[in-house]
Amino acid sequence: MSRTDFCDHCGHAEVDHTEADGGESRCPHCDCPEFTAVDMVITYTTAQVDYDWFGTRTIAVVGHASNGKAIRKVESPAERVEAQRDRYASGLHMVADETEWQKLVAYKLVTLQESP
């Protein structure tokens, strides 16, 4: 599980932690200095980005399913991960957590993306 900072004002993820003129971290979107660290959980899915809810972001395309659909590795806020996974499943898209993903890879049920 990782952590991502969200701006308390606009909700923008990835608050810039470089020191600004005032010596504090600022949101790159609205320049707000207040943010909250949120636990993030990894999911693998064939769902398109249109299925992502607030706070979910694509980390990488990691492979392809047997039907040719791209498999995205995404992270979502821990408090919303089950709802996000249910949304993917509602469109009949593949959904896997880290353990399920490792099994898919081990049994060669997915084609891994080549690294550049």
Q: In this predicted model, what pLDDT tens digit does every residue of 73-85 receive, in sequence order? A: 999 999 999 999 9
| Token pair of 28 as six digits | 């790159």
- Answer with the residue of higher pLDDT: 93 or 27: 93
Residue type, 6: F
Structural domain span for residue 28: 2-112
- b/e map 26-56, b = 16+ CB within 10 Å: bbeeeebeebeebebbbbbbbbeeebbeebb
0.75 surpassed by pTM = yes
Strand, coil or helix: 76:
strand
Per the structure, the count of domains in the chain is 1
